[in-house]
Every structure is written in C-alpha cells, then in structure tokens.
Amino acid sequence: MEISETARRVSPSPTLAIGAKVKQMKAEGIDVVDFASGEPDFDTPQNVKDAAIKAIQAGMTKYTATSGILELKEAICAKLRRDNGLEYAPSQIIVSNGAKHSIYNTVLALCDPGDEAIIPAPYWVSYPEMAKLADGIPVFVRTDETTGFKITPDMLRSAVTPKTKILILNSPSNPTGAVYARSELQEIAGIAVDKGFYVISDEVYEKLVYDGNEHVSIASFNERIKKLTVTINGLSKSHSMTGWRIGYAAAEQEIISAMTRIQDNSTSNPVSFVQKGAVEALNGPQDFTAMMAREFNERRRVIVSGLNAIPGVLCPNPGGAFYVFPNISALLGKTYKVRSITGSDSLAAYLLEEAKVAVIPGSGFGADQNIRLSYAASMENIKKGLERIGEAASKLV
C-alpha cells in the first residue's frame, strides 16, 4: 500500500501523543502529574449541559445547515459585537467542529499550492501542518524571550515575499502565553494592509489574560484590516467545552462561503444539539469564565515562582492562556546515569520516566530550548509536580 505524499508530509501532533501516553500511564495506576494537557480542568457549566440535554429531548438530533443554526450564528455575532467591537452578519459566520476545524477550513479556503503562510514561532503545533495539508509553505519567524515571544514589525516585514498569503497570529499564545498589545497589533495590521495578505487571528484564549493585559481583536481597527482578517474563536477554552467541538470563524462572506463549501463536502454541520449548548454558553451568564480566569491566575503565580526557584530553569511570566514556557537551556548537556539531556525531547522523556511529570517538549512548537507546562491542573498537583521537577533537575550533573 502507498500512503499519499500529503499524508506522509504531515507530522503527528506531539501534544496529543503525550496526552495519550499520560492516559495510558494513569490507567496502569502510575501517579503522573499532568502538565501536558491543553484543556481546562473544570467541568462544563451546568446551564450549558442542560440546554444540550433539552435539545436532545426535544428531538434536535438531525442534520442542521452545514455552517450552523441561525440562532447560534446570531449569538456569535452578538458576542463579537459585545466583546470584540466587531460587526458581522450571520452570513459572515461559520460554525465548525472546534476552532481547529475552522482554522483548517480557512487555510484550505485561502492557500493555493506554493503560497506562503507566515507563522511566528513558537507556534501552536497544528499551524504548520495545516499549511502543508493545503500544499502551502510554512514560513517561520523565530522569536524568543527577548521580544516576549512576539514578532516585531521588522521581523514581519522581512518575512513577507510576493508569495505571502496569510499570517497566522495567536494572541494570547499557545505555547508562550504572549499577549500582543493594541499598538503592536496596529503595526501588524498596517503591514498586512500595505502588503495585502490575510490574517488568521486565532483568539481562543482571549478570556484568559492577566496583569492588566487586554485582548484586542486585530479586525476591529478599520474596514481594510477587517476585510483581510478571519477571526477564529471557540468554546473549548472559554467555557471548558473541549469535547463538545464548537469553534467558529468570522470573515468576509466570500471567504465564509468558500469555507462552507469545504465543510459541506467534508464534515457537514457541527453536532446539532451541541449547537444549542453553545447558544446557552454565549448568551447565558459569563461568570464561569471569569471564575476560571481568576483561578488560573492564582495557579500561574505559583507555577512561575516555583519553576524560577529551580536552578537551570528560567520562566517568564506569561500574560495570558494557561501555559508557561520556561527556558531549560541550562539543563542541556547534563546527564543522569546513562541518560543525556540533549534537547527538550530528552528532558521531557526524563521528567516523564524518572519524575512521573508530563510536560510537552518545546521542539514541537519550534523551540527546543523550552518546555511547555499547562497549569490547568489542581494547585495540589502543581505543587507536587514542581517538587518532582526540582528533585529531577537536581539529580542532573
């Protein structure tokens, strides 16, 4: 059997692979502290569950329009107006099976073979793979702690070529937690308008910002950048609904129609009764999200100070999301018995096997000197995990 070239080009998701390994270890009775998971550890709010259950009982179990029910699109339009200062009509919205699906649809709708997708690194693992699936070319713009893991206007300008089609922007960022300021986004928007490329603005962590940071939607500045932007959001992170698979995109109608044609012929609609739960999540009380953000903020303080207390680990304070992305370069080249720490992969393997702590190596995000830890874990587990990492790091010579 010959597997297609496209399928062979795509790498497996390292985050999902580690998640599967952690689940397996737990099933074997091993006490693993899980800093790998990319999902809030809270249950979905009861009012959302009730709305979906009610929809099932009312018989809402059939196909819906591919791009979602009108009631949900209207709730999304109201949310974008209320939270983001964005005016869209329901015909400019598509609801997909998760934000990941919306991003993939967008990349397929915009990228021709050979088109370049600018992806600031460290990046969310799926962006380059999506570009490759569309026969596009990922163009990485490397950033590090010196610019707070953000691209500067100069970095962006030097990455633009006549082939540039899209920039994939993610603020607040997975994995670094970086949050772009309004002024920084204004400069990026200016370059996009000037050079005429599209911006996919992945805003799934918008509700999780700390220390007075503000989430700003790049499409909100003016009509010119709005026409070039596809705003992506979803309910996985804001309402702890990762398993429900609801994400959406807002853009010019022509782009949304193209995405709908793709979705028509690949997955059809997101689950019918789940859409009713999503309406309740968006239109109902929002105090759950605020409570979650306060809780994550507390945990962030503990994990950042705990990591910085470990010799060899340097952890910047992230402005958003629920990840820390410490630099571990001082531990590289060290050994424990026969094990050498040559990069983030071997450090993550060492921590998992020797300390029973799961972290994600930075290599998958394009940053081999870092590891990613999610603090969507209980305070008790955060403290236990920090102790274990500290002990494991102290054994390295």
Q: Which spans of this chain sit near ligand PLP (rule: CB under 6 A)?
A: 38, 98-100, 124, 170, 174, 202, 204, 234, 236, 242, 247
Residue closer to ligand PLP by CB (options 37, 260) is: 37
In whole angstroms, how close is the CB of 311 to ligand PLP at the nearest point? 30
Shortest distance in whole angstroms from residue 247 CB to ligand PLP: 4
Question: Minimum Å distance from CB 9 to ligand PLP?
Answer: 21
CA dist., res. 323 & res. 219, Å (int): 25
Burial of residue 61, with CB atoms counted within 10 A of its CB: 0-12 exposed, 13-18 middle, 19 or more buried: exposed
Distance of alpha carbon 195 from its chain centroid, rounded? 26
6 CB-contact burial (10 Å; exposed 0-12 / middle 13-18 / buried 19+): exposed
Parallel, antiparallel, or unpaired for β 137-142 and 198-202? unpaired
> Is the Cβ of residue 299 or residue 388 nearer to ligand PLP in the bound state?
299
For every residue of 185-231, DSSP letters joined together read: HHHHHHHHHHHT-EEEEE-TTTT-B-TT-----GGGS-HHHHHHEEE
CB 173, min distance to ligand PLP, A: 7
Given the complex with ligand PLP, which of 242 and 283 has the nearer CB atom?
242
Q: How far is the CB of 125 from ligand PLP (least distance, A)?
A: 9
Q: How far is CA 316 from the centre of its chain?
A: 19
Looking at the Cβ atoms of 173 and 386, the one nearer to ligand PLP is 173
Distance CA 178, CA 323 (A): 10
Cα–Cα dist 38/106, whole Å: 22
CB-CB neighbours of 179 under 10 Å:
25
Shortest distance in whole angstroms from residue 127 CB to ligand PLP: 8
CB of 276 to ligand PLP, least distance (A): 18
Cis peptide before 128 (omega within 30 of 0): no
For residue 248, the surrounding DSSP H or E stretch is strand 247-250
Name the residue nearer to ligand PLP (CB basis): 40 or 385.
Answer: 40
CB of 246 to ligand PLP, least distance (A): 7
Instruction: Using the CB atoms, write b or e for 103-118: b if 16+ within 10 Å.
Output: bbbbbbbbbeeebbbb
- Judged by beta carbon, residue 184 or residue 203, the one nearer ligand PLP is 203
Q: Which residue lies nearer to ligand PLP by CB, 242 or 317?
A: 242
Residue 98 or 364: which CB sits closer to ligand PLP?
98
CA distance readout (Å), 360 to 42, 99, 241, 328, 382: 21, 21, 22, 12, 15
Of 97 and 327, nearer to ligand PLP (C-beta) is 97
User: Residue 108's Cα: distance from chain center in Å?
Assistant: 19
Shortest distance, position 123 Cβ to ligand PLP, whole Å: 9
- Token code pair at residue 261: 């044609």
CB of 175 within 8 A of CB of 121? Answer: no
Name the closest residue to ligand PLP (Cβ).
Answer: 98
Of 273 and 350, nearer to ligand PLP (C-beta) is 273
CB of 242 to ligand PLP, least distance (A): 5
